[in-house]
Chain A
């Protein structure tokens, strides 16, 4: 197997489940929280139709371990490289051609929230709390958080969240578009798996990949280009209907 990380990976009913497993708060000792090879596998494996990321136990992830971060920051070059690897990992999760859901219980802070923002959909437990507390330590989100957050909640609210470091409760998160669904506490993983099944269970993998790919295009391409690509994919799928 690939490199040792704090997360576990298993596939159940064609859905990959990544569990951030560093109890009690699932802090992230390293920006690379899962073996990137496993994410690469999800690009190509026809048997994996979706990904759900959850935290082990009561919390999603409380983010970076400050002690460990101070230690890593002593060697600037090495630290930069680690952060870059972490950022690349989140970029690859965001670019996956299959849907991804973050199932968020309890604390989802800093790096944890950056992971959740790289997913397509966020399901929050009613007791979930989300924040970018970096500013309280004289820092800022370092793996794309400031770039991704405005896309979901708008520039003004993003500025407020990142500069204040304030905690956002689940209800408020739903209201502003940071969360897409609320689920009862302890049931977010089941809820997320149900939601994923509703989206992918009866769909051939080519249909899933085409749709997600097209939606991902809307973030990276001009509208006209993305629409042309969409029509091409439609024709390719339509050609298969008779065969």
Chain B
């Protein structure tokens, strides 16, 4: 099973990120339909700094979210970045107070679930939340 499993689910998958979210952990979050970050979280793909690369699809996902120039810079330099930058660059979808990160994610899913019939949640996700950009 790969991270794509989560992306392909036809129910909303939200990453509730708090604290550090580095390497494969960020890759996993990138495969979720949406990323909600607690204030002060730190994100990054530092693989290149120890002679590797993000190998679970993170390169392709980051590129789809933020474009090739920024993805190249972040992955090659391996530097960590803040939630403010991540939001500005389109890598995450919202920032919430740290202690309510999981609550915000649950609320988001409830909102999606209640405003749409269950049957159309799948297409909702694929239409609005999966921002692949691979096949524009």
Q: A152-B67, A218-B64 are in contact. Are A211 and B73 (CB under 8 A)?
A: no
Does residue B132 face the partner (Cβ distance < 8 Å to A)? Answer: yes
How extensive is the interface on chain A, given as a class? 35 or more
Does residue A208 face the partner (Cβ distance < 8 Å to B)? Answer: yes
- B52, A234: Cβ atoms under 8 Å? yes
Interface flags for B68-97 (1: CB within 8 Å of A; 0: not) read 111111011101000000000000000000
- B51, A180: Cβ atoms under 8 Å? no
Specify which of B55, B63, B64, B70 lies most central, judged by the most chain A CB atoms within 10 Å of its CB. Answer: B55
Cα–Cα, bound, A230→B53 (Å): 8
- B69, A211: Cβ atoms under 8 Å? no
Does residue B122 face the partner (Cβ distance < 8 Å to A)? Answer: no
- A230, B55: Cβ atoms under 8 Å? yes
With beta carbons under 8 angstroms apart, the residue of B52, B60, B69, B73 that contacts A237 is B52
Interface of B is mostly: helix
A66 → B minimal CB distance (Å): 31
Q: Which residue of B lies closest to A206 (CB)?
A: B51
Cα–Cα, bound, A226→B4 (Å): 13
Total interface residues on B, CB under 8 Å, equals: 30
B135 → A minimal CB distance (Å): 8
> Which B residues touch A241, using CB under 8 A?
50-52
With beta carbons under 8 angstroms apart, the residue of B48, B49, B52, B134 that contacts A222 is B134
Does residue B113 face the partner (Cβ distance < 8 Å to A)? Answer: no
Cα–Cα, bound, A208→B53 (Å): 9
Does residue A120 face the partner (Cβ distance < 8 Å to B)? Answer: yes
- B59, A231: Cβ atoms under 8 Å? no
> Which A residues touch B69, using CB under 8 A?
120-122, 152, 180
Cα–Cα, bound, A227→B132 (Å): 13
Does residue A200 face the partner (Cβ distance < 8 Å to B)? Answer: yes
Does residue A204 face the partner (Cβ distance < 8 Å to B)? Answer: yes
> Which B residues touch A234, using CB under 8 A?
52-55
Does residue B56 face the partner (Cβ distance < 8 Å to A)? Answer: yes
Cα–Cα, bound, A203→B2 (Å): 28
Residues from 191 to 209 in A contacting B, C-beta threshold 8 Å? 195, 198-200, 202-204, 207-208
Does residue A223 face the partner (Cβ distance < 8 Å to B)? Answer: yes
> Which A residues touch B40, using CB under 8 A?
none
Q: A177-B67, A215-B63 are in contact. Are A199 and B76 (CB under 8 A)?
A: yes
With beta carbons under 8 angstroms apart, the residue of B4, B60, B72, B134 that contacts A212 is B72
Known interface pairs A180-B70, A235-B55; 5 further A-B residue pairs with C-beta atoms within 8 A, sorted by A's residue number: A217-B60, A230-B54, A230-B57, A231-B56, A241-B51
